[in-house]
Chains A and B, each alone.
Chain A
Amino acid sequence: MCSTCGCGTDDARVEHEHAPPDHDHGHDEHERTHTVELEQAVLARNDHLAQHNRDWLASQDIAAYNLMSSPGAGKTPLLERTVAACARQVSVIEGDQETVFDADRIRAAGARAVQVNTGAGCHLDAGMVHRALDKLQPEPGGVVFIENVGNLVCPALFDLGELAKVVIISVTEGDDKPLKYPHMFAAADLVVLNKTDLLPYVDFDTRRLVADARRLNPGVTVLPLSARTGEGLDAWLGWLGSSASVGFRPDVRTATPLT
């Protein structure tokens, strides 16, 4: 047994000064420890809370969408448009590191909103959404949009209990984003391509964006629209409607047809 730390069997005697060169372990490695098998998902708690959110939303007949994009892609303007066009009660959970700017804008547009400030956090998790839903008290039969923290990386990993994940990318960000941020595009149930009114002013290859998004997520639908002009908004509303049988008032659809 090792004379200093007690490692090894009783009939072995290893003195440190004569130890072979590879006997460089720290003493605490030889402390008696026992193994506890866990074999569980790291995000098991988040996934459990997400399922809880999903079950509750389903019981209330509420369709919830997780909107994810980089900062400035136009999530809030798209929501302002959507609030105006939706026949069912819209509520919004706004995620940002700081400020209540977005929640104020959504309230001004006529919907209920709760702001979640994550501080240093770079994404929303299921626990935050659970608390936000509790505060928001969305109307049964309504629609809840969860505007995630602007970030094309971290939010992709966290299930919030949503019905669908919508990734929004704007033409000013560049057409190379799907392959640069593969996890986000692989997780998307729908990709919205925003700011199409700016296409004449930027070098953006829509075909490349669609092709690359589908290399990661075969068959994913890409909806081009401009939240500013309303162009393409009808397709977005149609997708929302078909994904959750959500009713929209056709008379307030301000979209001009795609050319």
Chain B
Amino acid sequence: MHELSIAESIVEAVQARTHEDQVRVVRVRIGKLAAVVPDALEFCFELAACGTPLEGARLEIAERPGRAHCRSCDQEFALPDLVLLCSCGSADLEILAGRELQVASVEVA
């Protein structure tokens, strides 16, 4: 359950910026290919925020779809999972999006 570590990292990263300010909303971007389960992260965030100025804050998760670029045929397409295969048959892909694991912003009281 690495989502607990991820949640703790989110709390830590936010607190490093907002210190003792009460945080109401935390907005994160999670790529579909980032190996993080949003439901599990929400559950863990509540636990990780306990006893901190983030306690009770709402976690808003923006999920980002995977996208890849094929170096062989130059097309760009949606990548639903980590199986690297272009419709042209090439596996020489560059993942453009979907691996995001970022804290975007917070709302502070």
A interface residues with partner B (beta carbon < 8 Å): 28, 31-46, 121-123, 125, 153-154, 156-158, 179, 182-183, 186, 214-218
- Which residues of A have CB within 8 Å of B9? 42-43, 45-46
Q: Does B104 contact A (CB under 8 A)?
A: yes
Interface residues of B (CB under 8 A from A): 1-2, 5-6, 9-10, 12-14, 17-18, 24-25, 28, 35-36, 81-85, 91-92, 101-109
B104, A43: Cβ atoms closer than 8 Å: no
Answer whether A122 and B1 are a contact pair too, CB < 8 Å, given A157-B35, A183-B35, A216-B84.
Answer: yes
> Is there contact, CB below 8 Å, between B108 and A44?
no
Interface of B is mostly: mixed
Distance (whole angstroms) from the CB of B105 to the closest CB of chain A? 5
Complex contacts, A32 vs chain B, CB 8 Å: 109
In Å, the complex CA distance between A186 and B83 comes to 9
Question: Complex: how many Å from CA A33 to CA B22?
Answer: 9
Q: Are B103 and A33 in contact (CB under 8 A)?
A: no
Q: Which of A35, A123, A158, A217 has the most C-beta atoms of chain B within 10 angstroms of its own C-beta?
A: A35
Partner of B105, one of A28, A38, A46, A183: A38
Rounded to whole Å, the gap between the CB of B54 and the closest CB of chain A is 12
Distance of A73 from chain B, by nearest CB (Å): 19
- Whether the pair B105, A35 counts as a contact (CB closer than 8 A) is yes
Contact B104 A37 (CB under 8 A): yes
Please measure, in the bound complex, the distance between the C-alpha atom of A216 and the C-alpha atom of B36, giving whole angstroms. 18
Which residues of chain B come closer than 8 Å to A156, judged between CB atoms? 35
Cβ contact within 8 Å between A123 and B82: no
Q: Are B13 and A36 in contact (CB under 8 A)?
A: no
- Quote the shortest CB–CB distance from B40 to chain A (angstroms): 11
A161 to B36, CA, bound (A): 21
Contact between B83 and A216, CB atoms less than 8 A apart: yes
Q: Of all chain B residues, which has the CB nearest A39?
A: B104
Q: List 11 interface pairs A-B (beta carbons < 8 Å), by A numbering.
A: A31-B24, A38-B17, A38-B103, A38-B105, A39-B103, A41-B103, A42-B6, A182-B82, A183-B82, A215-B83, A215-B85
**Complex CA distance for A214 and B84, rounded to whole angstroms:** 9
CA distance A183 to B35 in the complex (A): 7
Contact at B92–A218, with CB atoms within 8 Å? yes
> Within the complex, what minimum Cβ distance (angstroms) separates A173 from chain B?
19
Q: Please tell me if the beta carbons of B107 and A33 are within 8 angstroms of each other in the complex.
A: yes
For the complex of A and B, the 6 pairs showing the least CB-CB separation, nearest first, are: A154-B2, A182-B82, A33-B107, A183-B35, A218-B91, A38-B103
In the complex, how many angstroms separate the beta carbon of A193 from the nearest chain B beta carbon? 20
Select one of A35, A153, A215, A217 contacting B106, CB under 8 A.
A35
